[in-house]
Amino acid sequence: MRTWLEVDLGLVKKNIETVKSTLPESCSIIAVVKANAYGHGDAKMALALMRLGIKHFAVACIDEAAQLRNAGLQGEIIVLGYTDPADVMRAVEMNVTLACVSRSHFKELFAAAQEAEKPLKIHIAVNTGMNRIGFDCRTPEQLARISKSYAAAQTIADHGGKVIDICGIFSHFSSSDDTSEGAEPYTMLQLERFNMVLDYLAEKGIEPGLRHISNSGAIGKYPQARFDAVRCGALLYGYNTAMDAKLPVEPVMEWKTRVTCVRTIDKGDAVSYSRHFIADKPTVIATLGIGYADGLSRALSNKGFVLINGFKVPIVGNICMDQMMVDVTEIQALADAHSIPFGVARGTEAVIIGRSGRLVQTADDIAEACGSCMHEVLSTIGLRVERYYK
């Protein structure tokens, strides 16, 4: 086995209970399982969450929704991104809820849904400041487009021919986990705009359906933004994104590989492609069975670390597609000097994310080393990395 993940479903349960403890009973959790459940394995993770009582799930596209339905997932599956109207029939057949991202998109979805035997379920996406998708909402004209969509769906329903069921409305914070100057005022502005939409609909006598705007960064930080549901992604997998409002969650996954080869190279010898590491003394090099095709960023070349036998060992040379090298000179020297059996040999376990002895390396640590974010580190772990669940 080259490289694998170990996912602790007991910790998933604990994290869910931690998040629930911060929420009122009236507020549901929408488990975000897009991008292969942030690399943890979408079907296994979603089914485990379903057994834990989660009834709402969020994905990025209809193909992800289809994979979960085919795996036997029940409950509401919400596609958070844009869906082509050509996929409306698939959505209806699978009982999948789509995001409606604009008035023109509503009209296209409505037209495509007229041939369906059951109504198409949608949530209205509102652009409160992320400026990615959603109905704009700053002017009376823009607010009217939102209410007209609700009215159009209801008018047809009143005549016995319901085509679209608007069962929710949502927006997305851009900076709820940010501590930089201006982030909190901007989050409050987004919340104000979302409330303005909800107030406008209430004045028109319109029931908006399930209301949700909070992501993991906002759950512990902005209780006034919880509404009917919160979208829980990073917290579910054990990562806080709002460092100034941490919840006691734990990473549920460890990523490991094994040593495949150990050799001592001479001073002046180079390691890996392009000779970006040249030994300045005799150096013990261990090769690991993992590379960037498995999702380990090549940006970690010559500056990242892995954990072996309770030691932090540096990555040396460029990370290859399927392999990488680390400097284990320190471990071998200590083992030889003290006749201690923790030397490195073929088959020795190496930890990319997780614990080794007293040391822990997280996806946040890797993200910091390669100038990325925890979400990218986790979600890009490759499909050929075996996943094991306990």
How far is it, in rounded angstroms, from Cα 141 to Cα 45?
42
Selecting among 34, 121, 221, 256, the annotated active-site residue is: 34
Of residues 279, 277, 353, the one with CA closest to residue 320: 277
Per the CB < 8 A criterion, the answer to whether 42 and 7 are in contact is no
**Strand residue runs (E) in the chain:** 3-7, 28-32, 56-59, 76-79, 97-100, 120-127, 135-136, 164-170, 210-212, 229-232, 253-265, 270-271, 277-278, 283-288, 305-308, 311-316, 324-327, 349-356, 359-361, 386-389
How far is it, in rounded angstroms, from Cα 133 to Cα 389?
35
> In a 10 Å sphere around its CB, with 0-12 CB exposed, 13-18 middle and 19+ buried, how is residue 344 labelled?
buried
- Give me the residues paired with residue 373 across strands: none
Query: Hey, what's the torsion of the CAs at 376, 378, 379, 383, to 10 degrees?
Result: 140
How far is it, in rounded angstroms, from Cα 368 to Cα 346?
29
How far is it, in rounded angstroms, from Cα 87 to Cα 66?
11
Structure tokens at 358: 């007293």
- Give me the residues paired with residue 287 across strands: 261, 325
239 is catalytic: no
- Give me the residues paired with residue 165 across strands: 121
Selecting among 118, 246, 267, 273, the annotated active-site residue is: 273
Of residues 315, 323, 321, the one with CA closest to residue 365: 315
Of residues 351, 347, 309, 352, the one with CA closest to residue 328: 309
Query: Hey, what's the torsion of the CAs at 275, 278, 284, 286, to 10 degrees?
Result: -20
Active site residues: 34, 273
